[in-house]
Amino acid sequence: MIKNIIKIVFGCCIVLLFLHCKNEGEKDNFSKSEMENEKSDKFYHYSIWHAFVNKIFEGDITAAEVKANGDIGLGSYNLLDGELIMLDGELYQAKEDGTVVIPNDTTKVVYANATFFDVDDSFELESVADYETLRKHINRKLSSKNMFYAFKIHGEFKRMKCGGLHKQAKPFNDGLDILIPNRPIFERENFSGTMVGFFCPEFIGDINASGYHLHFISDDKEFAGHVMEFEAKNLKIEIDEIHEYQFVLPQTEAYKQVGFEKEFQYKKQ
């Protein structure tokens, strides 16, 4: 399938940052080992974070396409019908009523981040009081704030607070800046699960969420959502450093016509 793909390749060569724009045809020149390396170390990103604010709530890729581009990930489904969580190659849909289901391969996705996870570094924490404490610990492990990172973090959660999304219907009245402060909140105590997500550098701007963005799925697959706050113990933090970024734009009419006018009115979490 032909898509408009802007590929930004960040290659770090000691002190030089090379920026390449490649098209799909150039892949033919890659050796087999280069292709395998590319698959394992690519940050796949569909749609623009800032489009949510401007009420772009329908995408044109499917759940199957997200799975073809990674085995962990996060995002949202069309009409904001739940938070998207991908763990170990399986997609989950955390609905607005708090239930968690496995979507069909044909279910449409409005926004997604994904990667094929491979562990570059890992460490363990016996006790973590809150999200901010975890961020500080991970910050010390990151080799640079100018790279992309994926995380897989399993542990026991004394408490976990996740955000969901209210499903929207046309005509769309409110952007994400209005919807997020009024999002459904789900809380659970004393259970285990996995946080999956990403760190994006500040320079990502309005294209994606900068800083940390984590989603969660419980081991029993009955509780999931966007990580807001937690208290945890026995966390195993696995980190995948990523140097390549694949940015895929929607080809919907609504996306083609949208003006990116509004700014976020809430603090990104």
Instruction: Write down the least CB distance from residue 51 to Zn ion, Å.
Output: 15
Decide if residue 45 touches Zn ion (CB under 5 A): no
Other CB atoms within a 10 A radius of the CB of residue 150 amount to: 27
Instruction: Write down the least CB distance from residue 226 to Zn ion, Å.
Output: 3
Cβ neighbours of residue 55 closer than 8 Å, sequence gap 6 or more = 172, 174, 175, 258
The one-character DSSP state at 52 is: H
In the bound state with Zn ion, the residue whose beta carbon lies nearer, of 214 and 235, is 214
In the bound state with Zn ion, the residue whose beta carbon lies nearer, of 74 and 128, is 74
Token representation of residue 173: 């009245």
In the bound state with Zn ion, the residue whose beta carbon lies nearer, of 7 and 213, is 213
Q: Which helix (H) or strand (E) holds 39?
A: helix 32-40
Q: Of 24, 25, 20, 23, nearest to 10 (Cα)?
A: 20
Instruction: Write down the least CB distance from residue 215 to Zn ion, Å.
Output: 6
Instruction: Write down the least CB distance from residue 74 to Zn ion, Å.
Output: 6
In the bound state with Zn ion, the residue whose beta carbon lies nearer, of 155 and 164, is 164
- Interface mask toward Zn ion for 208-247; x: CB under 5 A: ------------------x---------------------
Please give the Cα distance from 163 to 192 (Å, whole number). Answer: 17
Site of interaction with Zn ion (CB under 5 A): 226
